Amino acid sequence: MANHIERRKFLATLGGAAAWPLAARAQQGERMRRIGVLMSTGERDPETQLRVGAFREGLQKLGWAEGRNLRIDYRWGAGSIELATYAAELVALKPDVIFGAPSAAAVALHRETRTIPVVFAQVPDPVALGMVESLSRPGGNITGFALFEYAIALKWLELLKQIAPHVTRVGILYDPEQPTWPGYIKTIEATAPSFKVQILPHEVRDAEAIEGAIATFVAETNGGLIVLPGALMLRHRDLIISLAARHRLPSIFGFRYFVTGGGLASYGMNNLDLYRRAAGYVDRVLKGEMPANLPVQFADKFELVINVKTAKTLGLEVPVSLLARTDEVIE
């Protein structure tokens, strides 16, 4: 009986020893894939880290692990100017696929390569930007997840007037390096007469320009502010929020993080969800699918966020009907 037990132990040990080299060979034989990541926002920015974290989380859930079967090369922008250089660097590495976000990074990659597959996130209108032939069949080497159509800018103006009906002058802060600003402003200007407001766009490129634009704008009364999305606004969001508070300026934003930081209100998509979904397209490209055949998808999770504490500080009362439709109320 003892001999039988020892024999079973020996066979089990032998079986494990035989299986180990097979498992090791299987892991060693798993080809390391390489992707590039180009972000037009700064590496140390907390919002940027949340976005990249959501993207990496999406990859991990699909079986991709850095150091085991995946290598990721990152390039971080603090704005738009250096993106062309970073895009060229990533293309020179010849990765299997490059992920670029938000829109300025995606545009830089599209200009740099028409052969390496590219997946984007946070691009408002990829057709108008000339990045894809159509939403259903992109046709080239690039596809991804779009933010929303420019019509969302109407919601920003509507939201501003609902919370601050006294507003008759609407300043718009925009970064001229951001390729999407003309579409937003045209949309807002087209509907301005129906809201009985005057639209006053202000081009800004740095913190000093932001301060100057707001100082000029508040020289007259009954003003409100819409801040267009972009890496520059993300980088200087604390400054924008503080200036709006100092000048008692009702301000509307495209993303939640402005409002959690003290801004008045925002309406926009859940961008972290968009980054998780983008990982799915990267996975499909790595498994052999072509971007040309992967339809561009739009954001499908939107959120209205209102900071009622900020509203009270500005002497504004948010309508109950609007609060009832709000996804998150910050008090």
What does the block give as tokens for 66?
A: 């850095």
pLDDT of residue 179: 76
| Ramachandran area for residue 67 (φ above 0: left; ψ -120 to 50: alpha; else beta) | left
- Do 99 and 120 belong to one domain? yes
Say if 163 falls within a structural domain: yes
- CA-based Rg of the chain, rounded to a whole angstrom? 25
Q: What angle separates helix 181-195 from helix 152-163, to the nearest 10 degrees? A: 40
Pure H helices in 66-180: 83-92, 103-112, 152-163
The whole-angstrom separation of Cα 81 and Cα 1 is 78
- Do 48 and 189 belong to one domain? no
Task: Tell me the residue range of the domain where 131 lies.
Answer: 32-148+271-300
| CATH (domain of 257) | 3.40.50.2300
Say if 132 falls within a structural domain: yes
**Across the 331 residues of the chain, what is the mean pLDDT of every consecutive 10-residue run?**
42 37 43 95 88 97 96 84 90 98 92 97 88 94 88 94 98 89 93 96 96 96 94 91 97 94 93 93 97 92 94 96 94 89
What does the block give as tokens for 266?
A: 């925002």
What does the block give as tokens for 272?
A: 């972290």
- Do 260 and 278 belong to one domain? no
pLDDT of residue 153: 93
Q: Classify strands 251-253 and 265-269 as parallel, antiparallel or unpaired.
A: parallel
- Do 108 and 138 belong to one domain? yes
Say if 12 falls within a structural domain: no
- Do 161 and 293 belong to one domain? no
Count structural domains, the chain.
2
Burial readout 57-94 (b: 16 or more C-beta within 10 A, e: otherwise): ebbeeeebeeeeebebeebbbbbbeebeebbeebbeee
Residue from 285, 244, 282, 291 nearest 263 by CA: 244
- Do 311 and 220 belong to one domain? yes
Contact between 293 and 137 (Cβ < 8 Å): yes
Residues whose CB is less than 8 angstroms from the CB of residue 160 and which lie 6 or more positions away in sequence, other chains included: 167, 170, 224, 226, 250, 252, 265
- Do 41 and 106 belong to one domain? yes
Q: Classify strands 198-203 and 70-76 as parallel, antiparallel or unpaired.
A: unpaired
- Do 117 and 49 belong to one domain? yes
What does the block give as tokens for 67?
A: 């150091």
* pTM of the complete model: 0.74
Query: Quick check: helix, strand or coil at residue 128?
Result: coil
pLDDT of residue 150: 82
The whole-angstrom separation of Cα 275 and Cα 121 is 6
Burial readout 175-207 (b: 16 or more C-beta within 10 A, e: otherwise): bebbbbbebbbebbbeeeeebebebebbebeee
pLDDT of residue 141: 97
